[in-house]
Each structure stands twice: as structure tokens, then as C-alpha cells.
Chains A and B, each alone.
Chain A
Amino acid sequence: MKIILEQLLNGLTIGSFYALIALGYSMVYGVMKLINFAHGDLFALGSYLGFTLLVWGNSYITAHFGVVFGMIAAMLIAAIGVGISGLMVERIAYRPIYPAGRLPAVVSALGVSIFLENALMVIWGPKPQVYPSEAILSVVLNIGAIKITLLQIIILIISFLLMGSLYYLIQKTTFGAAIRASALDRETAALMGININMIIFFIFALGPALGGVAGVMVGMYYRKINFILGWNYGLKAFTATILGGIGNIPGAMVGGLLLGIFEMLGSSYISTAYKDIFVFLILILVLIFRPRGLLGEKVAEKV
């Protein structure tokens, strides 16, 4: 029982990383119908930005304002940095290609991904970097028989706050309705007076920013980051997006959390070595029997 609960908590933590990254994929896909392959590498960029910020800010911010403040400041600044990079990627690599259609945009996205991955390698070096341990909380709490670190609690609180506010924004506000409308049909939405460029600007800033926060969290949680981080997490988060239903915001959150939990339970009860296979098998089974994902709506086929 104790192990199950602990594994569930770990799964939830990893799942919240996946969910935060998946939101970026899902928002961009929803409006642009583009699989943003560069998103995983933007997430890795966030991870590296957080690393540099913590190394620099360690002596000043952490010493003066405490560890928690330092951590949150790192997440915030990394999020802003990654958000700006996301906007730049859209402006430079995607916007000129929209008229040509979807497939060239996929190649361009792969190009951005290769570029970013190698830029990370050139800037921070090919060796893995380790987050400074004094800048990260290492308190372990014992609740009943369950062990949980304070860091995990903070990660869970922040990611659930972020997901909750995004859910509110997308589902309850007028602006959210505009985003959903442009995801359904961009042209008609534009005819109804929705500023599509504004929406595109927003999704390409917010999606990568959430990914950046997840990047810093992953760095804090595992301590060790490398420049190919983006591919691994990107692929998993993308799987999560499909699992929940691509283009569907609550779906991305549910998909991410479920994927994290599946992965942890799979690795503790089936086999650690086969846990990734397990994840992809679930994905394929879901797609065979429910191609629109768990929460996706059925789209009628146009003739």
C-alpha cells in the first residue's frame, strides 16, 4: 500500500511535467494544426536557463531571500526567456511558411529542433550539467508512512496552479473562447472579428513558457540535465497530448498526468526496462480503439 501511494505521488510529479509540456503541443496544434517539434527543445532550453540562473543567483538571491524564492524566481525568469524564444521561433521559422501549408512547416520545425539542440550543446557543452544542490530544497517529509520531499509538493502545487489557471482562462473567459473558436475553424473565427495574430502570438508565448517552467522543475527534480533532454521529454509529452486528445486543453492535462502514473506503475509492477514500451503500447491501443484520444471530440469528416 505504502509503495503504491509513493509511486502514485512520483507518477503524479512526472505526470505534471508531461502535462505542462503537453499543453504547449496541444495549444499550438489546436490553432495551427502544426506538430511543433521544436517544443521539446524549448523545454530543454528552459531547463538550461534555470540551471544558469540558479548557479548565478545562488550567492545573492538564495542567500538573501531563501531557497524557495530563488527557485520560483528561476522558474519565472526561465519561463519568460523561453516564452520569448518561442515567439522568435514562430516569427522566424514558421510564419513565412504558413502559406505553403503543413508539411514544409513540419520540416522547418524539425530544423528548429536540430538547431536548438545543437545550440544548447555549443553553449553549455556536451557533458551533462548538474543543478547546484544548495539552491534546491532537500527536505523530506514523512506523512504517515509515506515519504515525500518538500520539492515534490512545491512542484505539484505550482503545476496544478498553472494548469488550473490555464483551464480557467481557456474554458471560462472570452479570450479562451476566442482561442477555442480559432482552434475549431481559423477562417470563420477571423470573420467573427477574432484577432488571429493575437491568438497565435499568445499560444506561441504561453505554450513554451509552460514548457520552460517544466524544464526548470525537471532540472530540480532529477538534478542532472543534458542537451538531448528535449527529445526524450518532448516525445513523451507528445504521447500524452495524443492520449488526451490533441488540441484539447483539459485532455493534455489528463493525458500527461495519466502517462506519468502509467509509467511509474508500469516500472514498479511490470519492468523498469520495458516501461517506455508500455507507455507507447498504451498509446497505440488508445489510438486503435479511440483515435480521437480520451477527451477528444469526434470530428465529422468533410467531403
Chain B
Amino acid sequence: MKEHQNKVWERGFFIFIIIVFILLPFILNDYWIDVFFFFGIYALLGLSLNIVLGEVGLFDLGHMGFMAIGAYTTAILNTRLGIPVFLLIPVSALAAAGFAWLVCSPIIHLRGDYLCIVTIGMGEIIRMTLVNNPFGITGGPNGVFGIDFLSLGSSLVVDTPRESYFVIWIIVGLSIIALINLQHSCIGRAWNCIREDEIAAESNGIDVRYYKLLAFVLGAGMAGIAGNIYASKLMIVSPESFNFMESCLLFCIILIGGMGSIPGVLIGSAAISLFPELFRAFAQYRMLIFGVAMILMMIFRPGGLWPRKRGAVEFKSIWLKATR
């Protein structure tokens, strides 16, 4: 009976949150709507990294590289060939996912920290290649500019902050529904099994290589979509937006929220995107405070702010194994 009541409360809480998100852009001014837009971008990126890091436990510190592929695909195809940005959403996703499949196939057998280092290297190679302007298409350090608004012909143009807010949050909402279904499917279970114990998973007939690669490809595809929206919002993409620091921040989103927890990702991305804005008054000290907050957070809540329910027991075992 109590469980049922809890469920009702939970459902009410989520509906409340959804209503708040729908009403927000009608209350806030344009500046804060944009802040919440970037919150949405970080949430989408966080969800995409959550597949790789949270569900499968693969350390990926080069995730911004996939977003860069998506953003540059959009930017180049839109400015050179004039293809509408809406049509480029699946193209960017496929480009990033295909790239991930190509690059990750040879490195997927690496374990733990080694995989982490290779992904750092991969992210840096992508960024530096973009800086070096191969075949004169990426525009070097300045990047590509003059990207259109999110549009499909002249009838559908997303050009106000409020509209782009709705676009990103609708995509985030759909991704959340898809990811929750995925978590409960056999793929999600296989992922979690690999995270908990790879050898046990393999000996139970789970194709570890296939599922790890699948996580990377799906995660990269979602990051590619985030790249597409980001490029059309800023109208410019430059290599410095995709540096190592940003990948580290994404990593932090997952760990601040709690590994593998979808509400956790939202809280983590809120922390990363809203925190610097709230402390804007402190100007140059705000990132200083941000660093201290990260340390304090890990001291007092090492499992994240909203750890996944089923996870509490499992994570303990990971930690014990890791510290041994």
C-alpha cells in the first residue's frame, strides 16, 4: 500500500516538474531562457554520456569529440549545400555514430583507465584536426559561421529563444522516454551486467564487445544531435567549444548526479550549467567556487545527488573492488 502511495507521489512530482518546464519560458526573460536552453544541451549530452559511462561503465573522456562531429557535419553541409538544419539532425546523428563505430572498433577491448586515455587522445585528435583545417572545410581555429536557424523550408523556422528552448527540451524528453525503455530492455540489462562484472557477463553468453560498441554508437549519435542543435543555435562552431575541459565537465555531470541515473543526469547538468550563472556576480571567482563545490560534493555525497535506486547496492561492490 505504501509503495503504491510512493508511486503516486513520484508520478505527481514528475508531472509537476514537466509543467514547470513548460511554463518556465513564459516567466523568464530571454537571457534565462537561453541559460535553460544550454541546460538542455548539457542534459542531452549528459544522457548520451550516461549510456557509455553510467550504463556500461566505460570511461569516456573524449565525448565532446562526437558532438564536434555532429556540429561540424551540420555546419558544413548547411553552409556549403544549404540543406535545412532539421533535415541534418539524422545526418549528424548518423555521422557521429558512424564515426564512433569506426574509431571505437579497434579500441573497444581496452579496459578501464586505458580506454579512458584512448578516448582522451581521440577527442584531442578530433579537435586538433578541426583546428588544422583539413581540405579547407573546417575553417581552422575560427570555425564555420553563418549556420542557419533550425528550419525546414520557410514555413518552419525556430528563431526565438523560446522556440529553441522547446525544441531542445522536447528532444531531451523523447530521449529520456527512450532511455528508460532501454534501461528495462534486455540491452539495458546486458549493459548493467557488463558494468558490474565483465567476465561474468561474458561467461553468461553476453556479447560484451557488441554491447560496448552499441553503447558508444548510441551515445555518439545522441551527442551528434546535441551538436546539430548547438550549431544552429550559436550559428557558429569553433574547435575550442569541444576541448578536453568540456569533456571533463560532461564526465562530472554523470558523477555529480549519480551513475546510470536519469534524474541524476538532469540534476548534474543543472549544476554544471546553472551554477556558473548563479554566481556570475562573483565574476572571476565563480569557477574557483565551482572547483571547491565539486570537491565538497564528492566528500559529502560520493554516490551522486540522485543515485539510481537499484544501484545503491551494486555501486558499493564496484567501489570495494576498485579500492582493493
| Chain A residues close to B by CB (< 8 Å) | 33, 35, 37, 92-93, 96-108, 110-119, 121-122, 187, 231, 235, 238-239, 242, 246, 273-274, 276-277, 280-281, 283-284, 287-288, 291, 301, 303
Contacts and interface: CB of A to CB of B under 8 A. Distances in A.
A92 B199 contact: no
Interface stretch (B1-9, B40-48, B227-235, B285-293): B285-293
Contacts of A280: 121-122, 124-125, 128
22 contacts: A97-B302, A102-B319, A107-B251, A108-B298, A111-B290, A111-B291, A114-B291, A114-B294, A118-B288, A118-B291, A235-B124, A238-B117, A238-B120, A273-B131, A273-B132, A277-B129, A280-B122, A281-B121, A284-B121, A284-B125, A287-B107, A287-B114
Nearest to B294: A111
Contacts of B323: 98-99, 101-102
Contacts of A283: 117-118, 121
Q: Interface of chain A, helix or strand or loop or mixed? A: helix
Contact of A287 (B118, B285, B290): B118
Interface string B274-301: 0000000000110110111111011100
Contacts of B299: 93, 96-97, 108
B291 A112 contact: yes
Interface string B232-262: 0000000000001100100110011001000
Nearest to A121: B284
A92 B291 CA distance: 13
B17 interface: no
Given A106-B251, A117-B287, A274-B132, 5 more contacts: A238-B120, A242-B117, A277-B125, A283-B118, A287-B107
A119 B288 contact: yes
B146 to A, nearest CB: 25
B110 interface: yes
A242 B110 CA distance: 13
A277 B128 contact: yes
Nearest to B245: A231
Contacts of A288: 106-107, 110
A9 B117 CA distance: 28
Contacts of A121: 284
Interface in B191-244: 199, 244
Given A101-B318, A101-B323, A187-B324, A110 B248 contact: yes
A276 B110 contact: no
B294 A287 contact: no
A100 B301 CA distance: 9
From A97, A277, A281, residue with most partner B Cβ within 10 Å: A277
B113 interface: yes
Contacts of A117: 287
A104 B244 contact: no
Contact of B294 (A35, A107, A291): A107
A81 B113 CA distance: 30
B303 interface: yes
B124 A276 contact: yes
B322 interface: yes
B295 A112 contact: yes
B234 to A, nearest CB: 22
Nearest to A246: B113
Nearest to A100: B302
B46 to A, nearest CB: 14
Contact of A242 (B114, B291, B295, B322): B114
A276 B251 contact: no
A103 B259 contact: yes
A104 B302 contact: yes
B260 to A, nearest CB: 12
A276 B128 contact: yes
Contacts of B106: 288
Contact of B292 (A101, A107, A115, A187): A115
Contacts of B121: 239, 280-281, 283-284
Contacts of A35: 113, 116
A92 B295 contact: yes
Contacts of A104: 255, 298, 302-303
B291 A115 contact: yes
B298 A100 contact: yes
A285 to B, nearest CB: 10
Contacts of A187: 324
Contacts of B199: 301, 303
Contacts of A239: 117, 121
A111 B124 contact: no
A103 B112 CA distance: 11
Given A111-B292, A113-B291, A276-B124, A118 B284 contact: yes
A239 to B, nearest CB: 7
Interface string B295-324: 101110011000000000000001110111
